[in-house]
Structure 1
Amino acid sequence: MWRVDQVFLARRGMRVEVTCSLVNDQGGLRNLSITAPTDDPTQAVRHAARFIAGKGNVSGARQARVRWTREQATTAQDALIRDRALEDEFLDEFEETLAAVRDQQR
């Protein structure tokens, strides 16, 4: 099973691209990208959380860090700053969708 480790946001015109970095217990790493149909970062992370949790092979997103990509940061320090409000939005939506998927599988 995979889990979400980090979430990166990047503006692409009028949309927000969300890249989720997934890791597993064997040390595997893979990235899933989705372009949200909105320019609102909150709606974009919620959209991405529904997409990732709906895959069915991702077990969790606890402690997933959300941050903007380097080209979106104005200084090097900005690239290190986590967006905790968006982290909460992502985790809430992920957990809700994952619970719904698990209920359907029963």
Structure 2
Amino acid sequence: MARRRPVRAPEPLRATSMWRVDQVFLTRRGVRVEVTCSMVNDQGGLRNLSVTAPTDDPVQAVRHAARFIAGRGNVSSARQARVRWAREQTTTLQDELIRDRQLEDEFLDEFEETLSAVRDQQR
């Protein structure tokens, strides 16, 4: 007699997925900085969002990107997001591994400020 597999309840559908910023990559594009945010959700999905900041200052660029990402409404956190320069901006293989902790702090601070402002508006 054949064994029957137990019937599992299907996972509930979600109207929207909440995303978390995992990594942030910076790339110089002429006199501007392009910021690409790599995000994951709780089901293992991956999504990238890019924004070109109207400045060549990396600190201002990550702050601009943090405001853009946090303002979207379905991004829940950016804790432990790693900020790195994109591969084409590095000069040695070691450069690819280096995280910019100062830019990580700037990104997280601006992200949290914008996210709390968005939540205050929704109340």
State the match for 1:42 in structure 2.
Answer: 59
Q: Which of the two has greater strand per residue?
A: 1
User: What residue ranges of structure 2 are gaps of 5+ in the alignment?
Assistant: 1-17
In the TM superposition, what is the alpha-carbon distance from 1:105 to its structure 2 partner?
A: 0.2
Paired residues in the alignment total 106
Q: Deviations over 1:59-101 (max 9, x none)?
A: 0000000000011111010011000000000000000000000
Match status 1:9 vs 2:26? yes
State the TM-score, normalized to the length of structure 1: 1.00
Q: CA RMSD in A?
A: 0.3
- Find the aligned partners of 2:87 and 2:43 in 1 and give their Cα distance: 28
Which one has the largest radius of gyration?
Answer: 2
Taking CA–CA contacts closer than 8 Å with sequence separation of 6 or more, which of the two structures ends up with the larger relative contact order? 1
| Residue identity (%) | 88
Q: Which of the two has greater helix per residue?
A: 1
Flag as ranges the 4+ runs of structure 1 deviating above 3 A. Answer: none
State the match for 2:69 in structure 1.
Answer: 52
State the match for 2:90 in structure 1.
Answer: 73
